[in-house]
Amino acid sequence: MTATATAPAKKASSRRVKQGGLSEVRAGWFTKVLLGLLVVMWTVPTLGTIITSFRTLDDANTSGWWEVFYKPEYWSRLTFDNYIDAWNGAGASSANFGASFLNSLAIALPATFIPILIAAFAAYTFTFMEFKGREVLFILIVSLLVVPNFVAFIPLQNIYNNLEFVGFPKVWLAHIGFGMSLAIFILRNFMTTLPRSVIESAKIDGASHYGIFYRLILPMSVPALAAFAIFQFLWVWNDLMVALVFLGPGENEPVTVALTSLKGQLGQGWNLTTAGGILSMLVPVTVFLVLQRYFVRGLTAGAVKG
Amino acid sequence: MLLKSGTVLVTVAIGIAGAIALFWALNKLAELLPSKWEHRLKPYLLILPAYLAISLYLLYPTIVTVINSFKDRTSDQWVGFTNYADLFTDKAFQSTLFNTVLWVIIVPAVTIIVGLAVAALTDRLPSKSEKFVKTMIFVPMAISMVGAATVWRFVYAYQPAGETQTGLLNAVWTSGGAEPVPWLNTSTFRLNTLLLMVILLWAQVGYAMVLLSAAIKSVPAETLEAARVDGAEERQVFFSVILPQIKGTIIAVGVTVTIGVMKIFDIVYTNTNGQFNTNVLANDFINELTTNFNYGAASAIVVILMIAVIPIMIYQVRNFKEQEAAA
């Protein structure tokens, strides 16, 4: 978002835990109870889903998930079947999470990694090279950050139909295009903080722009590259709209679309939505927890997505 | 399956190798030019791929969409402002617009207030518990809205009176003897829309909390000390010392959340698909596009949304220019 507003924040979030702020004041019991309640409120819905994902359809239909805690008769009926059925696509549902899981990976990985290099070159050019129109071109990027990406859906569908484009490349290219302005924005903001003296001295030693980019700038920009990569990966993995419009339900559907179709089927198959939902969350939540530090840095470095 | 995983890896490799080759070629191309031209042209060549992507996926479509919004449902005939007139005179669309405005007013404000409260309160905890509380509140951000809808089903679920309630909210509600309520079908006072907002708040309060917490921690300790020495209470320290210093971050979070909420789609689509008076602009757009195949109306909805975004865009650009001038 706004670089200056959050610039000090960027520094603060990286390592240090306690310094300024309110830390002088210790939490009283009221604060502790309040925060405890908040944590409960935030985790109970997920807990309910996890528990339900191990219950049989009958149990889930006839009793609340919380009854598992005080009615031991439910314990023996807890089962992994929902997961097995959701993964293999058994039962009343046609959704097959095993396949859609791979589809999600097949969509998210290229859509995450390909734009990075393209954006990094552009960010380098904006930061370290002088050229006419530099400011105007960058302001274009800043203004495009807020443009809703669904302006592109109808015109793109026409282009894709005319070119007889099919399958994953449709969404890869779309996500590359949609993610580009944010990528350039984040990377350029980061690169302006790199010490110019290093680049100047490399230039004096006769290094080309190309060499400086690959040997100096790219390695130094790893935190920002990682931040954008996580952001883009989560965004693409969790995306429903782009997948729905360009891929739709069927053999290429990612987990979000599979889960949506499953949710639509009331009655028979719905117990699979819990297992499917948990499966669909595993990847992003793991990525998120493991790389949280980079992600936070990416947020503070400025993130709006159009 | 194995084949597919292979394809994925190969594509990633080809994509990256392709991008490297492309820039190598562009660089070589620039070097072939006379040195004077090389320096002039190279920057443009290096930003060319990025701008091609942006032009094809945002600029060109924006122009086409504006044009399509003045054409009929198949984009063949010019119809002037008919699409807009039809939308604005349609009762259902007025309700959609009203809901979207509700989202835009309520969600950013509550996100900031709750995020700020959590950020300020966790700051007083020992650092281990602080980290735990923050992680718990932050994690839903990684979950898709479809996943969130699945999760919240067990809060909002409804069974007719007399049957066991499987939704937490109804279980609590009926425990005092009240009749169960079909929460997401109840649009009295836009209750269902408000309940859908709760899901979004659940998902993104963590975002506001993280940014605001970082800002609070970067407030210089001296300013707080000074205020305390002067006898200010903690409440006063927060409202008159900390708050003014983190104003920039609060606005930044507000703008980001507002933009996100204007385009809110997944939550409504997966929970109610806009039924029971919960429709919002983006969901209406998708329905016009994929169910009604009315490209004129769909385009007009996007244009309305883009016009709504313009003030934020101007603000962003102005803000950016100020910062560049200050740097």
DSSP B84-148: HHHHHH-HHHHHHHHHHHHHHHHHHHHHHHHHHHHHHHHTTS-HHHHHHHHHHHHGGGGS-HHHH
Block residue for tokens 């405005």: B101
> Which residues in chain A (236-255) have CB-CB distances under 8 A to chain B?
237-241, 244-245, 255
How many CA within 13 A on the CB side of residue B183?
24
The token pair that represents B114 in the structure block: 């709750």
Q: Least CA distance to A258: which residue of chain B?
A: B146
Calpha distance B300→B84 (Å, rounded): 6
Binary contact (A118, B50; C-beta < 8 A): yes
Residues on chain A touching B309 (C-beta within 8 angstroms): 146-148
What are chain A's domains? 23-88 (no CATH), 97-302 (1.10.3720.10)
pLDDT over 80 at B187, yes or no: yes
> Is the model more confident about A5 or about A63?
A63
Contact assessment for residue A141 and residue A201, using Cβ atoms and an 8 Å cutoff: no
Q: Least CA distance to A109: which residue of chain B?
A: B12
The token pair that represents B215 in the structure block: 């800002």
Binary contact (A244, B290; C-beta < 8 A): yes
Residues on chain B touching A196 (C-beta within 8 angstroms): none
pLDDT band, very low/low/confident/very high, at B127 (cuts 50, 70, 90): confident
pLDDT band, very low/low/confident/very high, at B218 (cuts 50, 70, 90): confident
What is the structure's pLDDT at B42? Answer: 87
pLDDT band, very low/low/confident/very high, at B195 (cuts 50, 70, 90): very high
Binary contact (A292, B215; C-beta < 8 A): no
Binary contact (A24, B139; C-beta < 8 A): no
Binary contact (A292, B202; C-beta < 8 A): no
Across residues B194-215, what is the average pLDDT? 93
Cα B171 versus chain centre, distance? 32
Chain A: closest CA distance from residue B103 (Å): 16
pLDDT, tens only, B21-57: 888 888 888 888 888 888 888 899 989 999 999 999 9
Calpha distance B236→B190 (Å, rounded): 36
Angular region, B220: left φ>0, alpha ψ -120 to 50, beta rest:
beta
Contact assessment for residue B46 and residue B23, using Cβ atoms and an 8 Å cutoff: yes
Contact assessment for residue A281 and residue B142, using Cβ atoms and an 8 Å cutoff: yes
Calpha distance A247→A95 (Å, rounded): 15
Considering only CA atoms, which of A300, A224, A141 is closest in space to residue B256? A300
Residues on chain B touching A131 (C-beta within 8 angstroms): 40, 43-44
Binary contact (B53, A180; C-beta < 8 A): yes
A81 Cβ contact partners less than 8 Å away, ≥ 6 residues apart: A56
Mean pLDDT: which of A26-30, A137-141, B185-189, B230-234 is highest? A137-141
Contact assessment for residue A169 and residue B79, using Cβ atoms and an 8 Å cutoff: no
pLDDT band, very low/low/confident/very high, at A5 (cuts 50, 70, 90): very low
pLDDT, tens only, A190-211: 898 888 888 888 888 888 888 8
Across residues A229-237, what is the average pLDDT? 92
> Which residues in chain A (45-74) have CB-CB distances under 8 A to chain B?
45-46, 48-49, 52, 60-66
Across residues A47-63, what is the average pLDDT? 90
